[in-house]
Amino acid sequence: MKMMELSGNQFSGHLPSTIGLSLQNLEELYLGDNTLTGVIPSSITNASILTIISMGPIFLTGAVPNFGNLRLLKRLLIGENNLTAESSSLELRFFSSLKNCLYLELIEVSLNQLNGILPASIGNFSISLQIFRSFGCHIKGAIPDEIENLSSLADLYIDSNHLTGFIPRTLGN
């Protein structure tokens, strides 16, 4: 199976913990607009040829996993859940793992409970990143200067957070 579209149904319960093990040939996964709960299983990273993950809104909780093994990932849509950062760090480390996703065009994590700091490593995202949405996530601290490295970035949505400091002069380069 290359694509699985299950959005807009009334699925409930947890995602199978082995979802990434049984769908190793999956390229596109759409689960939005259901009432699924629980965590994003870490096994999802075993589906290493995934290009699109769309899991929102579906009431997921827990920490955002490390998606770094998904090197072909183009679109990560996990907004409108109750996902959090790793509890051991104030820095949003899952963002750092996305630097391995060489074809990433869109990141949508808005309306989650991330409650952390954007790492400087976001400047190492794919040069193909065009859209970055993380509004309403309780993100704190400053916008890293390294954001200037995102030369293809066309749309940046980081409103309704708790950002402080200065807007980087190079933002928009």
CA quadruple 101, 62, 154, 165: dihedral sign: negative
| Residue 9 pLDDT > 80 | yes
> b/e for 56-85, b at 16 or more Cβ within 10 A?
bbbebebbbbbbebbeebbbbbbbbbebbb
| Residue 87 pLDDT > 80 | no
Residue range 23-36: average pLDDT?
94
pTM of the entire predicted model: 0.95
Q: Domains in the chain, start-ordered, CATH in brackets?
A: 3-163 (3.80.10.10)
Separation of alpha carbons 126 and 107, rounded Å: 11
pLDDT reported for residue 169: 86
Confidence of residue 10 (pLDDT cuts 50, 70, 90): very high
From residue 128, give the alpha-carbon distance in Å to each of 10, 43, 113, 131, 156.
Answer: 35, 26, 26, 9, 14
What mean pLDDT is reported for the chain? 93
| Residue 60 pLDDT > 90 | yes
Peptide bond into 144 cis (omega under 30): no
| Residue 173 pLDDT > 80 | no
Report the range of poorest mean pLDDT among 17-21, 75-79, 86-90.
86-90
Confidence of residue 88 (pLDDT cuts 50, 70, 90): confident
| Residue 3 pLDDT > 80 | yes
pLDDT reported for residue 89: 77
pLDDT reported for residue 97: 92
